Structure 1
Amino acid sequence: MTEHLAGRSEILRRFEAALRVPPVTLLVHGEAGIGKTHLLAETREMARSIGLRVLHGQARDFGSGLAYAALTEALGPLQDDPVAREPLARLMEAIDQAALGVLGAAPAVHTANLLRRLPGRTLLAIDDLHLADADTIGVLSVLPRRVPGLVVAGTARRLPAMDADVVAGLRPLAPEEVAEVVTGLLGRAPSASLVRHVHEESRGNPWFVREAVLTLVQGGAVQSAYPGPRRGAILGRLFQRDRGGRGLARVLAALRRTRPARTADLPALAEIAGLDAAEAERAFDGLVGDGLLVPADDDAYEFAHPLVAEALYADLGPAERRRVHARIAGLLHRQGLAGARSVLEWASHLAEGGTSAEALPAMLRAAEATRWTAPLSAGHWYGRAAELAPAHERGVLLAREALSYWKGSRPVDALRAGRQALAVLEPGRRHTRTAQTMVNAAHSMGRYELAVSIAAEHLPHADHRAALLAQQAVVRTQLGEDCGALVREAWAALPTCPPEDLVITLSALAGDSLIKGDWAEAERALGALLSASAALPPGARLAALESAAHIMASAGLRTRTLGLLAEAEQIYRGLGWHDIAGQHVRTLAVVRRLGGEWERALRDLRSDAVALTEAGLRENAALLRNIELDILLDQGRYDEAEPLLAGPPLTCVLQVSLRALFAARRAFGVGDRASALRLVDEAVRTGPTDVAHRALGFRTAMLIITGDADGARAAALALDEMAHGGTPRARLTALLATAAAFQDAERAGAALETARADGLKFEEAHARLVLGVLGDARQLVRAHAVFGELGAAPWRDRAAHRLREAGLAPAPSAVLTTAERRVAELVAGGLSNPRIAEELHYSRKTVEVYLSRVYAKTGLRSRVELALAYERGDI
């Protein structure tokens, strides 16, 4: 749950506490000059004082086109650390080699590996995240999950699209706070009239408080209203000294939009500013002496505040600005464009200062340099290039922009660029592929009717129909329409399907069959997909594996899903993008729900749902909310489930019927049986087959609890018949329902074996509860323990009630934590303590501590006993 704070003292106290319990993400936002950078600097000092390593970077004005620039700046000082030197070099090489088309491990993977290698805790702090490229934001969003000892902190004028644990909004200073600042500047208590004047002029903005006071001290006054004269006040006070200083400062302000200035740059910057060497040195020293430039790391100098640089840059006229950028680009070109970072910096300046003929090739080179490792940056560059390109080239560039944004999980931008591309592209391969991208984008946004209309509109012009047919089919099925003809035509067209269309076609066909509850057809599509993927290039194979994992997880197959995700992870390490449309995070959430990692699933999927919603990925955000509801309702957390049910579902039969089912479960949990029965019947009646399976399973359990044995048997029989060809999850649900309704110990035992074989914790406990009700009291003990571990309070209470009926007392709580259970699983798997430490990124001592806790809680005394108990399902 995100905390929102205000007030500098409160923020610092909370930040200090957060620094002690990583992983955590902290964000500070507010207007320019409000004190964000100062607060982050105080946070960095606090971090150092309590023993954290501090890494600091600065996002820059042209950041949207500079992939990973702020991140690499922050990590740069680690080159002097023997532990970090080698992984840092691999990270920098991965980014630079992308410019040459050489694929290595993705920057996100390298960054996580690098930070995990560092001993102790680390604070990674980035200023001005509102300027950062989207790929950097993406990496910062996932790092705390991959690096246990990491704190990510950042400032921004507007909050970036990333989840945070603590968000601090800075407000303007009150008059009494202004008085404290003025006192510090003047060395004496100011008069009330002076405080009132400064407060009115500054509007409580700390930077302008200082400027107003110093302007008064130097004999001037700021008479005009906010915000226009503020820039004039800065320029007037700071650059009365000479034209040389002002000219050099303006050049430095233009350079700062991609990186800070270094003393080695001074001769070239002097030439750009029209100064000789002596004049440039005097001007530079004067800027440093006046406190306008301050030293940073690695012989670099930064402006004392971004507002100074912004005022100077705004002071450049349009023609002068272009001239300065063009000359900076020339300087960078002469220094050499050895890798992606230098290419992006050069292209950023040339885009602002070069002619169209000069800027277009530079933009294309920047796009190619980032297309594999930073697709969102590539989308930015393809879009800018399209603006300058001749008419006959625009369609191709817009299509590449659309695909890049889709790979970067930005469907709104992909749809916009795709529309522009299709307006100018002639029918053919690129036209068809762009239409497919647009259908996927609209579908992921929850705009089902739009997705169908795009597919239908462009199907007559497609050079091959299979993918658009399959895409249209799966969306129409979600809408509750009959799409059998579309599916048959897609399968018929499959033998001649271009390789690059296979993933889209077969994923859609598998998804369509899954919703319809036809597992044989889904497996047919999955088998063809995985067979074909072996011959596909890495990006397409990754998409195939993630799509197959998504279907497998939805079908309830945990082990097979984990195997596919492991294969996908190996490919991801060689690419710069992952998780198209949020599919990967949704699959992980399902796997964690199946495997009993409910609290971890809740923690991650809540933040993931926020990120997906902000990116426009409403379809998978809704699916994540469904998983959250599923867990909360089984845990009896009905108050927390209520707000998730309050908003309208996405407008398709699948989502509407699922919402009815979840509402039924909540109604039953709070004692409203009439509403529960009405809603579950609605889900059965209106939902697709996959939803009907779930709804009949719940209806059976509800009627058993309420004592309606005949009704329960009728519901169980209906489910058993319907689930005969359904997904493994549906068949397991049918086994449990019929076992409970008909008191069939053989079916309950089969359900237990199925659940245990695939590591399905909740279903295992459910099967044990049924067996316990049928007379095996030993199973009740274990069911009670597992439900307790899951936090499934209503189910735990049912097991406790049955235990008491059997004359047994529920065992006192000695529940293994998630970490303890994972260590126990690895011990049972035969791993040594050093291997377990490597697997979990723990120290050996930590593994020993967890193992000793496992022994203490379970009463077991050796690794052999632990392995046997795990095999029996006793822990």
Structure 2
Amino acid sequence: MPFAGRAAELSQVLDAVLPVPTGGLVAVAVSGEAGIGRSRLLVEATDRLRSRGWRVLAVPGDRLQRRIPYGTLAAAVRALQPDNAYTDGLRAETVAALEAGSGSDFARACATTTRLLAALSAAGPLVVVADDVADLDEDCLTLFTVVLSRLAPAPLAVLLSTRSHLAEPSPAAEELLARLAEGAELVPLELGVLTPEQIADVVTPALGGRPDDTLAAQLHLRADGNPFFAIEIARSLAGSGLLTRAGDAVRLDVPPDRIRLDRRDAVLRRVVPLGPACREVARALAVLRTVDLARIGLVAQVADLPEPAVAAAFDELVRAGVAVASPGDNPTVAVRDEQRRYRFAHPIVAEALYDDIGPAQRRQLHGRAARPLAAARSRGEPVDLLDLARHVSESAEPADADAVMVLADAARSALGSAPETAAGLCERALSLLGPDGEGAAGLLSLRCRALARASRPAEAAACGREALGLLPPGPERYRTGTAVISSLFLLDRIGEVIEVADALVATGDPPAALLAQRAVMLAFAGRLDEAAEQGALAESAVTASPAEDVVVCGQLAMLTSMLGRHERTVALGDRAVRASGGSATLRLQALAVSASTEALAGLVTVASGRLREATDLVDGGATQLFPGELALTRVVLDWLGGRWDQALESVRPVGAELAVRREATLAGALAAVELEMRTWRGELTLAAALADRSVPRVLNLAGLYIWALAGYRAAAGDPGGAATVLRAELDRAGDTPYGCLLLSRLIELEPAGEDIDGLVKDLVRMAATSVSPWSLTVVHRTVGGVRADPQALREAVTGARAGGLTFECARAQLLLGEHDEGDGAALVDAYRTFGRLGAHGLRRRAGRRLQELGIKVPRARRGGDGLLTESEERVARLVQQGMRNREIAAALHYSPRSVEVYLTRIYAKLRVASRLELARVLDAMDRSP
């Protein structure tokens, strides 16, 4: 199809994606009806970007391959030609991960695809093109949702297209677009119809000349301005002898009312003139979707024709251009040449033929396709199980036990690598079986586990609870229960978690993993004595495998951390790592769970070591399990370790990934960490949105969040409100791991009516059994500040340094400098640390004390003291003053395009969406003390 009539839309696409090298991920979503030119626009945009040196990964959606997990993506990655051995190695790893079949393949596929795209974009901008994105398989869409959230800062563009009206909704595609809108810049672009003049440009090559105004108007009218249908109608008219050429123009040879063609007729006429045999073969191809030459016999069985007749008709379809083999890297015909696979030249042709068959005959044709495939499978011959399952799904009658078995087998085979596909197959099998059919419990269990793997916890929990009501005691019931508990936990429904766990424990002989899981949930609910008792039972239970031992140790490490027994936390983490033996997958699981638990407890040194080892394993090719835990660990360690710019840069992609995975509990911890940093930086407008979140229901994380919330309220001018929430949380759960932090912050507020000396004694008592460097440092700093005790403050400084707690160390150094005139060096260190972290209120306080002591105040360095670079801050300040982009460009001697690029980066860093929001954030930062 010629590129005509879309110059304005092409400019919009290019204008949106060209700033990517400096602004990070941008996605353009092109929508419109079938045949409107979405594919042609993406091809033209891709060609323009390729000519500018961009790398291209084309992953076209294909209804014919939707039941093949990662099929189109694997083919696209396989066809890449990297320019260096390292990236080529990543390409091979990614193909292997996409084509493997073990239970951990989704995590591995996400990890390898992320590394590959990062490597491709590191050498220059990369564009991922996904035409007809809703026709990608659901597992591929889920993978892209996770991977793109991780690559938000990368020089990466995504060009998507989707039909305005889908025959079947695609929740996975909708989720992908929603996450792109939240975590990156998403530019929607809807294509409208072409004008008669533009239609004339489009059909000229098909007619061999330009249509006159009357013919162009008729083509426009009958095609509704759709270029694909206009070309098909023009070809039909040309073949019917109804057109005359007059010089360079082509005109109608009959009155317009003699024409009887509409859009659907024009498509079907591509096949109808070819004869009855061709029509039957074309209908068979519409059902089979794609065939290679070795499957002509199968085509013959579906078409109910002799093989020689089918071969002749098939060749005629190829000669007529109705059926085509892959022409290479054509984005609309993504087939593999080496297999000589054939399909229709355009999806619209396949859809028109398929829809023309009728539902009853469609079922019959799918049945003809399923029977020989099922027979071949029963003989032990290799059969594409998912292809067989598709035909069975479309042709089976209710209560067909053989069909249910095929669908269940296909679901089990797809569970590890394609959980979305597995869940859909289970749903279809259940619809055939009926709710009371034999085997429903097993299918519900399988679907629950598939949905849990696919990060759809709400559906997994509902399905799993239905399965639990049917399953007898035994391993499958416990396996299902574990998936239900994990899903409910991610949804922050702790009460229901305990209800399910109690029911499982009450029947039969529960495994150690379930006992440990229940212990943790009891602790999350605040039932600490019961949790400790259940944890002791879990630790004494015999585990059935190294994998279960790793799970039990990880759960018990979380439990002991919540109980404040940090020595046991570290010991259980060590035991989990030892239990993993030689399995890289189990070792990574042990490291990830232990590291996140220890990091949130403030055990920076131990958690850092585990994170380094986990990172080495992932870099070495291990399957990346628990990406949420590892990402959160990294942010927490950057926060505690004084790398705040790095932590805040990571918050956005990590938050997006946790949202994609619906890991509400980890997201609550991330929000608390970000809220604390934003508050100390004086970024109160940004902090306000975080302070409006619901308090996590998990007991220990609720304490962490309320501690950060109280800090924000005090900074925002509401110390009374801060004291109220702190006191309420201390009364509710003062003995939780963050009790020391909560009580310390309450003491610092010096609320009216409180006995500060009594509170300090309570703090000392609370910390008496703690071995956490974080808690001990906070206690020494608070006691030293209240009692003006330099020795306690020195102990705080020493403990913070030993524990890797950079900000805590600087706070203790500030107090030490204020209470001991001889410790000017500590005060200088604190001043520099606060400046580097962007905690300017504390930096100015340290500066004033240095001036009082007659010590030279170090020169403030602006480059690294906040999120914005010096150039970005200049642009932001001019926006704050009300200047427009052209005025800013003139003032700074930039091009308007450069100003747009700077603003894109500034908006992303400060998490604002408009010039007004940016000005308000800067105003708030200027007002902060």
TM range (shorter): 0.7 to 0.9
For residues 146 and 753 of structure 2, what CA distance do their matches in structure 1 show?
49
Check conservation: 1:788, 1:815, Cα contact below 8 A: no
* Deviation string, structure 1 residues 26-78 (Cα, Å, up to 9, x no partner): 25154543654344334312320220121212233376642222321221322
1:173-184 to 2 correspondences below 5 Å: 173=192, 178=195, 181-182=198-199, 184=201
For residues 259 and 749 of structure 2, what CA distance do their matches in structure 1 show?
73
1:173 maps to amino acid: G
For residues 341 and 630 of structure 1, what CA distance do their matches in structure 2 show?
57
2:55 maps to amino acid: R
1:298-317 to 2 correspondences below 5 Å: 298-299=336-337, 306-317=347-358
Match of 2:544 among 476, 493, 499: 499
For residues 296 and 388 of structure 1, what CA distance do their matches in structure 2 show?
33
1:159 aligns with 2:191: no
Query: Larger Cα Rg: Structure 1 or Structure 2?
Result: 2
* Deviation string, structure 1 residues 257-279 (Cα, Å, up to 9, x no partner): xxx66688778657755453332
1:393-472 to 2 correspondences below 5 Å: 393-464=439-510, 466-472=512-518
1:615-626 to 2 correspondences below 5 Å: 615-626=661-672
* Deviation string, structure 1 residues 553-591 (Cα, Å, up to 9, x no partner): 1111233223333444566677766228x4343333323
Match of 2:316 among 282, 287, 302: 282
2:273 match: 241
Check conservation: 2:325, 2:335, Cα contact below 8 A: no
Distance 1:97 1:435, change over 3 A: closer
1:508-519 to 2 correspondences below 5 Å: 508-519=555-566
Cα root mean square deviation, aligned: 4.9
Check conservation: 2:515, 2:538, Cα contact below 8 A: no
Structure 2 gap ranges (5+): 1-7, 164-172, 205-209, 243-254, 870-929
Distance 1:606 1:114, change over 3 A: closer
* Deviation string, structure 1 residues 459-481 (Cα, Å, up to 9, x no partner): 2114226544543443344334x
Q: TM-score, normalised by structure 1?
A: 0.77
**In terms of mean alpha carbon deviation, does 645-654 or 123-132 score higher?**
645-654
1:72 maps to amino acid: A
For residues 632 and 542 of structure 1, what CA distance do their matches in structure 2 show?
32
Distance 1:718 1:336, change over 3 A: same
1:692 maps to amino acid: G
Match of 1:674 among 720, 733, 740: 720
* Deviation string, structure 1 residues 823-842 (Cα, Å, up to 9, x no partner): xxxxxxxxxxxxxxxxxxxx
Distance 1:46 1:641, change over 3 A: farther
For residues 303 and 533 of structure 1, what CA distance do their matches in structure 2 show?
51
1:549 match: 595
For residues 399 and 61 of structure 1, what CA distance do their matches in structure 2 show?
28
1:871 match: none
For residues 678 and 102 of structure 1, what CA distance do their matches in structure 2 show?
46
1:92 aligns with 2:98: no
For residues 794 and 574 of structure 1, what CA distance do their matches in structure 2 show?
45
Check conservation: 2:834, 2:842, Cα contact below 8 A: yes
- How far is 1:398 from its partner? 3.5
SS of residue paired to 1:436: helix
2:108 maps to amino acid: A
2:785 match: 740
1:287-686 to 2 correspondences below 5 Å: 287-288=321-322, 298-299=336-337, 306-322=347-363, 324-325=365-366, 344-345=386-387, 347-349=389-391, 351-352=393-394, 359=403, 362-363=406-407, 366-381=410-425, 393-464=439-510, 466-480=512-526, 482-499=527-544, 501-520=548-567, 522-523=569-570, 525-526=572-573, 528-534=575-581, 541-568=587-614, 578-579=625-626, 582-651=628-697, 660-686=706-732
1:52 maps to amino acid: W
Check conservation: 1:292, 1:303, Cα contact below 8 A: no
Distance 1:466 1:20, change over 3 A: closer
1:812 aligns with 2:812: no
1:785 match: 832
**In terms of mean alpha carbon deviation, does 426-435 or 588-597 score higher?**
588-597
1:78 match: 80
Check conservation: 2:553, 2:572, Cα contact below 8 A: yes
For residues 221 and 827 of structure 2, what CA distance do their matches in structure 1 show?
70
- How far is 1:615 from its partner? 4.4
2:355 maps to amino acid: A
Check conservation: 1:67, 1:135, Cα contact below 8 A: yes
1:65-214 to 2 correspondences below 5 Å: 65-78=67-80, 83=85, 87-98=90-101, 106-115=108-117, 118=120, 119-143=123-147, 145=150, 148=154, 150-156=156-162, 158-161=173-176, 163-164=179-180, 165-171=184-190, 173=192, 178=195, 181-182=198-199, 184-185=201-202, 202=224
Check conservation: 2:599, 2:637, Cα contact below 8 A: yes
Structure 1 gap ranges (5+): 1-6, 822-875
1:796 match: 843
SS of residue paired to 1:446: coil
SS of residue paired to 1:159: helix
Q: TM-score, normalised by structure 2?
A: 0.73
* Deviation string, structure 1 residues 256-306 (Cα, Å, up to 9, x no partner): 4xxx66688778657755453332222223235999997657546675654
- How far is 1:650 from its partner? 4.5
* Deviation string, structure 1 residues 797-823 (Cα, Å, up to 9, x no partner): 33333344344334131645999x9xx
2:492 maps to amino acid: G
Distance 1:94 1:608, change over 3 A: closer
- How far is 1:451 from its partner? 1.2
1:24 aligns with 2:25: yes
* Deviation string, structure 1 residues 377-433 (Cα, Å, up to 9, x no partner): 445555556666795544344334433433443322321332232232111222123
Distance 1:522 1:110, change over 3 A: closer
For residues 462 and 422 of structure 2, what CA distance do their matches in structure 1 show?
16
- How far is 1:551 from its partner? 0.9
For residues 14 and 733 of structure 1, what CA distance do their matches in structure 2 show?
51
Check conservation: 2:785, 2:793, Cα contact below 8 A: yes
1:633 maps to amino acid: T
Check conservation: 1:18, 1:24, Cα contact below 8 A: no
For residues 595 and 288 of structure 1, what CA distance do their matches in structure 2 show?
64
**In terms of mean alpha carbon deviation, does 737-746 or 243-252 score higher?**
243-252
SS of residue paired to 2:58: strand
For residues 640 and 379 of structure 2, what CA distance do their matches in structure 1 show?
50
For residues 19 and 681 of structure 2, what CA distance do their matches in structure 1 show?
28
For residues 552 and 599 of structure 1, what CA distance do their matches in structure 2 show?
22
For residues 609 and 209 of structure 1, what CA distance do their matches in structure 2 show?
47
Sequence identity percentage = 26
- How far is 1:371 from its partner? 4.2
For residues 153 and 190 of structure 1, what CA distance do their matches in structure 2 show?
36
SS of residue paired to 2:79: helix
2:51 match: 49
1:59 match: 61
Check conservation: 2:595, 2:607, Cα contact below 8 A: yes
Distance 1:367 1:489, change over 3 A: same
**In terms of mean alpha carbon deviation, does 299-308 or 713-722 score higher?**
299-308
Check conservation: 2:20, 2:26, Cα contact below 8 A: no
2:744 maps to amino acid: G
- How far is 1:445 from its partner? 0.5
SS of residue paired to 2:175: coil
1:167 maps to amino acid: L
For residues 728 and 537 of structure 2, what CA distance do their matches in structure 1 show?
36
Check conservation: 1:251, 1:272, Cα contact below 8 A: yes
2:470 maps to amino acid: V
**In terms of mean alpha carbon deviation, does 289-298 or 549-558 score higher?**
289-298
